[in-house]
Amino acid sequence: MKIIFFGTPKIAIPTLRALLEYKNIEVSLVVCQPDKQSGRGKKIQTAPIKEFAQKHNIDVYQPNKLKDNIDAYNKIKELNPDYLVVVAYGKILPETILNIPVHAPINVHFSLLPKYRGAAPVNWSIVKGEELTGVTTMVMDKGLDTGDILLSEKIVINNKDSINLLEELSIVGARLLIDTVNNFKNIKPLPQNHNESTFAPMLKKEDGLINWSKDAAEIERLVRGLKPWPGAFSYYKNKSVKFFSVEVMYDHNKEMFPGTVSEIKKDSFQIQCGMNAIKVNELQIEGKRRIKAKDFLSGYSLKEGEQFHHKII
């Protein structure tokens, strides 16, 4: 069984690793996005899947685009793959590429389709307060995560943040993909109910801006759901403050404007929300390192009644 693998970030590695463990499977090529500059030093960051593939002596191909790319089409076509396997590649595959494999192009998507189609399903499932999420393997078509479902598996979210949840889903997805390709001929594809679909758009920085008038539980989910980027943030004395660990304090309502520091303790402090409050345990001031709330309190002399704002004032 010959497979061409499309993926870029770290979360794609468990699936590629699982494919390599099977003697009847040959991964003949890994396709990932081009290396990019990152950070203040503009250092070139190698795609995690590229590093993994090279360690296992797999050819890596990094086209700038796939649409209307004759060289990319010919390179993939010449390998005559049985399947294309896509895990968080980061770009939409054109129909010309999707039609190449002998059997099917298969996507491992980290949601229970048709819910949360799009680029950030794990983040939005947490932010929106879903109790369950999961992994779906599907036959890819030209739409955005609209193809027929092959297999799926549910996972309880509980209080996981997006980093931990995504790691768990990537492990489940690897196993589900192996089950899918090994039993493909016996699986009856199930068309999605498009009327039940929801969208999980790519994250933008402004998605992390906290609206303190919302319920504390919503804000706590925002903190968990938007890790590591863009993070849930607010402004204190015209400096951006990113929150990493918070708790909901139920039945803690004071006659204070949302965003007001309502209580200060030795190692934490609380901020009034539209309903209830959040207890802050860990945060990061713009330009500084991530610190515990007790260190913030000793360094910034925070007082009850001070405000966190939704913008610079």
What's the structural domain count of the chain?
2
Q: What is the CATH number of the domain that holds 136?
A: 3.40.50.170
Closest to 187 (Cα-Cα) out of 196, 199, 178, 195? 178
Domain check: are 116 and 249 in the same one? no
Cβ atoms 127, 193 nearer than 8 A: no
Q: Which of 148, 176, 196 is the last residue of a domain?
A: 196
Domain check: are 80 and 192 in the same one? yes
Q: What's the predicted TM-score (pTM) here? A: 0.95
Alpha carbon distance 63, 69 (integer Å): 9
Q: Which of 163, 196, 229 is the last residue of a domain?
A: 196
Residues 172-201 as b or e (16 or more Cβ within 10 Å = b): bbbebbbebbeebeebeeeebeeeebbebe
Closest to 15 (Cα-Cα) out of 118, 76, 84, 65? 84
Q: Residue 30 has which token pair? A: 């890994």
Domain check: are 219 and 243 in the same one? yes
Domain check: are 124 and 267 in the same one? no
Alpha carbon distance 105, 97 (integer Å): 9
Domain check: are 272 and 218 in the same one? yes
Mean pLDDT over the full length of the chain: 96
Domain check: are 84 and 222 in the same one? no
Domain check: are 65 and 190 in the same one? yes
Token pair 């390599």 in the structure block, residue: 20
Task: Note whether residue 312 is domain-resident.
Answer: no
Q: Residue 308 has which token pair? A: 């966190």
The 10s digit of each residue's pLDDT in 19-64 is: 999 989 999 999 999 998 776 667 888 999 999 999 999 999 999 9
Q: Is residue 294 classed exposed, middle or buried when 0-12, 13-18 and 19+ CB atoms within 10 A define those classes?
A: middle
Question: What is the per-residue pLDDT for 40?
Answer: 66
Domain check: are 218 and 154 in the same one? no
Cβ atoms 106, 139 nearer than 8 A: yes
Distance of CA 73 to the CA centre of its chain: 28
Task: Note whether residue 309 is domain-resident.
Answer: no
Q: Which of 196, 226, 246 is the last residue of a domain?
A: 196
% pLDDT > 70, the chain? 99
Q: What is the CATH number of the domain that holds 247?
A: 3.10.25.10
Q: Residue 127 has which token pair? A: 């932010």
Task: Note whether residue 11 is domain-resident.
Answer: yes
The 10s digit of each residue's pLDDT in 69-111 is: 999 999 999 999 999 999 999 999 999 999 999 999 999 999 9
Domain check: are 191 and 214 in the same one? no
Task: Note whether residue 105 is domain-resident.
Answer: yes
Q: Is residue 135 classed exposed, middle or buried when 0-12, 13-18 and 19+ CB atoms within 10 A define those classes?
A: buried
Domain check: are 46 and 107 in the same one? yes
Task: Note whether residue 307 is domain-resident.
Answer: no
Structural domain range at position 225 = 205-300
DSSP classification of residue 190: B
Q: Is residue 42 classed exposed, middle or buried when 0-12, 13-18 and 19+ CB atoms within 10 A define those classes?
A: exposed
Domain check: are 13 and 81 in the same one? yes
The 10s digit of each residue's pLDDT in 155-188 is: 999 999 999 999 999 999 999 999 999 999 999 9
Domain check: are 19 and 145 in the same one? yes
Task: Note whether residue 260 is domain-resident.
Answer: yes
